[in-house]
Structure 1
Amino acid sequence: MAWISVTRLRVRSFIYLPQFFWDTFKSMRQAERSSGFLGGRLLVNAKNVFWTMTAWIDEAAMNAYRTGGAHRRAMPKLLTWCNEAAIVHWTQESSEIPFWQEVHKRMAEEGRLSKVNHPSPTQASNHIPAPESSRIERTLRPASKV
C-alpha cells in the first residue's frame, strides 16, 4: 500500500529558476531522508514545468515531510514564483511508482488547482496539460530503509 502525492508547477519567469532549483534540490534531499518515503520522480518539461511524484507509506508520513524543513520553507514562495500549480493524492495497493500517463489521468480527473498570485491562461481555464517525455528526469530513492 502506498500514498502517492503529485505536484505540477510552472515557474512563471526565468528570474525565479535559480532559487526554485535550489529549493527543489533541498526538498528532494529532505524527501529522500524522510521516514516513510518509498520513492519518487522529478520530471522537468519545457516552459519551466516541473512534475514531482512521491510515494509514502501513508498520508501521515507525507504530511510530516510537507509541513517541515526545506519543503515547508519553499511552499509560500510558490505563490509568487509559479503561474500554474496543481496537486493530486491517492492510495494504491502497490508501492511501485506509477507511469506519467496514469499520473496525468489522476491529475485531470481528481486533481485540484493550487492558488497562485499570477495565474496563467492555462491555470485560469482549469486545464492541466499532460507531462511530456523529457531527458531531464530524476528518480528519488530513500536514503535508508523505511
Structure 2
Amino acid sequence: MPTLPWIPAAQAAPTSEVVVMASRFRVRGLRHVLLFFIDSMRVLAQMRKADGAVGVSLVAHPLRREFATLSAWRDRAALDAAVRGEPHRSVMRRQRAAMADSAFRFWTTPAESLPLT
C-alpha cells in the first residue's frame, strides 16, 4: 500500500495561517487493513475536494496496522465541515469496530511553510 505524499488542494494566501491536523489510526487486526485502506482512499478523495482544504497526505504501514494523515485547512470550521460530510461520516461509523486506537493533534502554522512533511 502506497504512501501518498503531500497533495495540494487549494492555495492559501502566503501570509495567512492554516490549521493543521495530524491523525494516527491503528486497526485491531490485519484482516481490517485492506478495507480501512480502501475507505481511507475514499475519504482522501473527499478531503482533496472539500471547501477549505489546503493539502493532504496519507502514510500507510499495513504490517503494523497503522495509518497516518496530515492535512492543512483554511480554518477549523472548514475541517469540521469536511469531517461531517460524506463519505467521511459513514466511514467513521463503519470502521469504529475495527479501531484499536486513534490519536489527533491540531496546530496552526504559516501557509508559507507548506507543504508539510
User: Is the Cα–Cα contact under 8 Å of residues 6 and 88 in structure 1 kept in the other structure?
Assistant: yes
- How many angstroms does 1:14 deviate by? 1.9
Quote the offset at 1:56 in angstroms. 0.6
- 2:95 corresponding residue in structure 1: 78
Pairwise CA RMSD: 1.5
What TM-score do you get using the length of structure 1 for normalisation?
0.62
Higher relative contact order (CA 8 A, sep 6+): 2
Q: How far is the alpha carbon of 1:58 from its aligned partner?
A: 0.5
- Kindly report structure 1 stretches of 4+ aligned residues shifted beyond 6 Å: none
Q: What CA distance in whole angstroms lies between the structure 1 residues aligned with 2:31 and 2:60?
A: 17
Q: Secondary structure at the match of 1:69?
A: coil
- 1:38 corresponding residue in structure 2: 54
1:98 is aligned to 116
State the match for 2:78 in structure 1: 61
Distance 1:74 1:60 in 2: 20
Question: Partner of 1:12 in structure 2?
Answer: 28
Q: CA deviation at 1:4?
A: 0.5
- Whole-Å Cα distance in 1 between the matches of residues 82 and 24 of structure 2? 17
Aligned counterpart, 1:49 = 66
Which has more strand, going by share of residues?
A: 2
Tell me the distance in 1 between the aligned counterparts of 2:96 and 2:38: 17
TM-score (normalised: structure 2): 0.77
- Alignment partners' CA distance in 2, 1:15 and 1:62: 30
Instruction: Give the total of aligned pairs.
Output: 99
Could you tell me which of 12, 30, 40 is aligned with 1:24? Answer: 40
Code of the aligned partner of 1:52: T
